[in-house]
Amino acid sequence: MSPTHINEASVAALNRAFQGAGAEAILEYAMATFHPHLACACSFGVEDVALLDVLSRLDAQPRIFFLDTGRLHPETYDLMAAVKDRYGLAIDIFFPQHEAVEAFVNQRGPNAFYESLQLRKDCCAIRKVEPLRRALVGAKAWLTGLRREQAATRSDLGPFELDHAHGGILKINPLIAWSLEETWAYVRAHDVPTNPLHDQGYPSIGCAPCTRAIGPGEDLRAGRWWWEAPEHKECGLHSRRALAKDHA
Ligand code: SF4
């Protein structure tokens, strides 16, 4: 598929063609088709470090970017340093626009996200969604570490999506079919550095004030925005047309 002919039909055809394909095959296609206009999002969760390791084994080097919201755990920064060291990677770091953060915090306070869904979405829009738009400038496709079983909002995802929110580029999820157990088996087998918070009950790690450890039997995303209903647990980075009315 030409990068200039991405539409719903071609994405559906890709999902059919790569049904049951492994992450390596999907990444090889992505590199062959889109490099050097391929970007890779990395937030240093276990899926993301697994994805970086698979890329390194393929000797594939898409542009890697990281969104620093300014509210992350210290452990996440330590892991970024360890990963850069291990793989010799260049990582583009995108920060929020400081004027927007200053205006929001001055008007609403530093922890306004606990007060309402709208204020939480406003904070995510400033600290994540807007920086992501800048990170994807020039990209014709981007890679994520999304897995289908991570959340109710991701249960019908395929390895390829048409990303309406970013100008109709292709969003590629090579690990979409991986289970959590497979992901951990991979990182252990390859001695990939991981965030120590995972060992403290954090299966999903985001901003420090919006992430808590989960207890036995809780959903894997229960610790993200734990005060909100499950159908709202997206930050806008992975919004889809079908979810637009709930997650805009
Ligand atoms: S996760 Fe929390 S702190 Fe981070 S951007 Fe969203 S609302 Fe703000």
CA distance 61 to 92: 13
Whether ligand 1 lies within 6 angstroms of the CB of 210 is answered as yes
Protein residue with its CA nearest to atom 3 in ligand 1:
207
- Assess contact for 229 and 150: CB atoms under 8 A: no
**The CATH number of domain 8-247 is 3.40.50.620:** yes
Q: Pick the residue whose CA is nearest to atom 2 on ligand 1.
A: 210
Q: Is 11 in the pocket of ligand 1 (CB under 6 A)?
A: no
210: annotated active-site residue: no
Whole-prediction pTM value? 0.90
Which residue would you say has higher pLDDT here, 222 or 239? Answer: 222
Q: How confident is the model at residue 189 (pLDDT cuts 50, 70, 90)?
A: very high
How far is CA 211 from each of CA 103, 199, 221, 227, rounded to the nearest angstrom? Answer: 24, 14, 9, 10
* Distance between Cα 147 and ligand 1 center (Å): 21
> Ligand 1 pocket, 110 CB below 6 A?
no
Q: How far is the CA of 207 from the centre of ligand 1 (A)?
A: 6
Query: Mean pLDDT over residues 191-208, rounded?
Result: 95
Q: Render pLDDT for 57-100 as a digit per residue (tens, 0 to 9).
A: 999 999 999 999 999 999 999 999 999 999 999 999 999 999 99
Residue 179 is classified by DSSP as: -
